[in-house]
Amino acid sequence: MKLLLLICGAAVCVVLSFVWRQPWIGGVGLLIAFVAMFTDRDDVRLDDERRSHETTKSVRDMRRHR
């Protein structure tokens, strides 16, 4: 949700920079987009985090020994 809000804020700043002909507003929008890109979390869970019985390393080892 935070990513969506930051990207929307960045887009609004870039559009306003064209409307008001003030390039610094577009620069602020690009900085906001830059911050949004690097503060985004990856919520995809790994197999190890799901508390499965097999870790990803053990699965790789089983597939390699076929």
CA distance 31 to 3: 13
Band of pLDDT at residue 16, cut at 50, 70 and 90 = very high
Q: Give the gyration radius of the chain's Cα atoms.
A: 21
Name the 3-class secondary structure at 12: helix
Q: What would the pLDDT profile of 26-58 be if each residue is shown by its tens digit? A: 999 999 999 998 887 766 666 555 666 666 777
CA-nearest of 20, 19, 39 to 31 is 39
pLDDT number for residue 9:
93
Can you say how many angstroms the Cα of residue 52 is from the centroid of all Cα atoms in its chain? 26
Query: What proportion of the chain, given as a percentage, has pLDDT over 90?
Result: 47
Residue 34: its pLDDT value, please? 93
